Amino acid sequence: MKTPLTLALATGLAAVLLLGAQGSLASLTDSAAGPATVIQSGSLSMAVGNPTAAVNEVYGTAPAGVVVRPGSTGIIPGVQRQSYTYTITNTGTARATARLSAALAFSSPVEPRYSALRSSLQVSVSIDGQPEMIVVAAGSMASGAATVALPEQALVFTPNTQHTVVVRFSIPATSGTAAALIDSRSAAAEAVALFTFTPTFTLTQVPVAS
Amino acid sequence: MTLSSSHPADAAARQPRWRARRLAVAAVATLAAALLIPSGVTGAYWTTAAAGTAVTPGVGDWCATPDPATNPRIIRLSDIPETTAADGAAIRMAIIPVANNAAWGGDGTTARTLAVKLRTCSTTIPAFTLRITAWSNSTANTGATTWATGGAVAPTSRLNVTAGRGSEIQKLARWGQSTTSPGATVSNLDSRRFSWLVSGPRTSSAPTAAPADCHNRDCTPNFAAVAGASAFVANNWTATAPSVTYSAATFALNNPAAGSDWGSAAGLNANGNPNSNSVVSATATTMAPSASDATALASTDGNLMQWVVIQWSGTTPPSDLLAEIVLL
């Protein structure tokens, strides 16, 4: 009488282990719970190009009482922002479509005097020219080193297609912002670094229906 | 049903039920194993990650002045209206009542020093002159209080410069005396009412300078106007903050605890005997907390109430030349 029980346990465990394990190349069956998927041989990989920087991107007019230093690069409240464009390519095999997510890491301020300015910073992301997503709203950035998650996006990255991810840093201009932050300005023609920003991009395969 | 029976026939009848139970246990065990195995083992997708090159966003350089529309303690010089005085002169003057009260940011307990902060983002300052002085109330009748704006000891209030008390203070600020024509000798009574902010020897590089020492109450107010380019710090894109603060100072003794009064013979801040020939030293114009506008407006010792007079003449200053009255 022990044989059927042992056989049943072994069979069940074998079925579990065969369920879609990455290294097993086993096919999923349609008996699994949730969306049916098919595991096939292949790979998923990505290439991230060096970013191109726009260090003095003018996007607003100076409000009354605010004067921009001629030729200044860097972030200026309500007037000028900095953008970094990363080119991301899904270099996986055919049918290995994927979606993008990211972890955006910010180091501590380079100088303490930038802490007030840092808290006023807004960080946004735009993929392939789509509307900006604010990932760090003004007033919500951590004062020290921190990582902010960009959740998985709906846009599908098909293999061997370049996509652009633009990360923008700006300070929204509200009344008095530029005057309140006057002691945090660079006081130099060239922008002065606030912190180091390091993005880590992740591609996650889109499950293939069976 | 109980399991106490041991009859062989009963045991035979229980066999199918035991088999069913064992199969059920196996199914549950399998399900438990499936739930306990990490999802990564069963995840039906691939992931790949790569770090982008690190960058260093940076801050740029700008200049900004506060908005007078949101801070009434700030006066835009170019906003001061032109008025024709009784002597026919066209003057640009604002007379502002200042007390250490809630309207001016006082906490009700701490004495503060009267001061004015000049700011601009202009890289060049046009040719104009500026004079900012402060005057206490007179012990004599000063006439009716006629307001041009407001009606309280508050940043938005301005005194009518050609009527009653405003006319008197206007003359004080222009000539140093209030009852006669220009050029008359300044009386001790009036000079004891005087505090300087931006006048006489003061410049942005010497914001605490005082007029020459005086003796035996012979202290003529030095209320000479200062060139705008000397009073303001022009924006040269190198200063950390393009502004300069001038604290009010006076030769008068404003210490009610000592029984003195600016209108009294012992009102000067002389070292030693104030009525002797001792050198008179400048002291900061401090203001005691004031809880009542009526009390402040009626006071004459200068501790509760100062009229700050801002006057400019010459080329109209740019709109971002600002004077902010502050209590330090």
The residue among B308, B299, B324 whose CA lies nearest residue B98 is B308
Q: Are residues A69 and B45, on separate chains, in Cβ contact within 8 Å?
A: no
Which of A75-79, A191-195, B10-14, B37-41 comes out lowest in average pLDDT?
B37-41
Nearest-neighbour CA in chain A from B224: distance (Å): 29
**3-state per-residue secondary structure call for B12-64:** HHHHHHHHHHHHHHHHHHHHHHHHHCCHHHHCCCCEEEEECCCECCEECCEEE
Per residue in B54-74, pLDDT (tens digit) is 999 999 999 988 888 888 999
Where helices occur in chain B by DSSP H, the ranges are 8-36, 39-42, 164-175, 188-191, 228-231, 293-298
Q: What's the token pair of residue A197?
A: 């920003």
CA nearest neighbour of A121 among A148, A100, A103, A102: A148
Smallest Cα distance from B122 to chain A, Å: 9
pLDDT greater than 90 at residue B191: no
Interface test with B, best of A16, A83, A127 (most B CBs within 10 A): A16
What is the DSSP track for B286-310? Answer: EE-B---HHHHHH--SSSS-EEEEE
Q: What's the pLDDT at A115?
A: 80
Find out whether A16 and B30 touch, Cβ atoms under 8 Å: yes
Contact between A187 and B238 under an 8 Å Cβ cutoff? The reply is yes
Count contacts between A and B (CB, < 8 Å). Answer: 218
> Does B65 sit within 8 Å of A16, measured CB to CB?
no
Distance, in Å, from the CA atom of A105 to the CA atom of A91, rounded to the nearest integer, reads 24
Q: Using one digit for the tens of pLDDT, what is the confidence trace for B216-270?
A: 556 667 888 999 999 999 988 876 667 899 999 988 765 544 444 544 555 666 5
* Residues of chain A neighbouring B241 (CB-CB closer than 8 A): 182-183
Beta-carbon neighbour count of residue B139 at 10 Å? 16
| Listed residue (B282, B289, B294) closest to B304, CA to CA | B289
* Interface mutation vs chain B, best among A61, A67, A157, most B CBs within 10 Å: A67
Is any Cβ of chain A less than 8 angstroms from the Cβ of B35?
A: no
With a CB-CB cutoff of 8 Å, which residues 188-217 of chain B face chain A?
A: none
Q: Tell me the residues of chain B between 70 and 99 that have a Cβ less than 8 Å away from chain A.
A: 70
So what's the pLDDT on residue B283? 83
Does the CB of B16 have a partner CB in chain A at under 8 Å?
A: no
Q: Does the beta-carbon distance from B239 to A47 stay under 8 Å?
A: no
Cα–Cα distance measured from residue B294 to residue A199, given in angstroms and rounded to the nearest whole number: 63
Instruction: For chain A, say whether B239 makes contact (Cβ under 8 Å).
Output: yes
In percent, how much of chain A has pLDDT > 70? 79
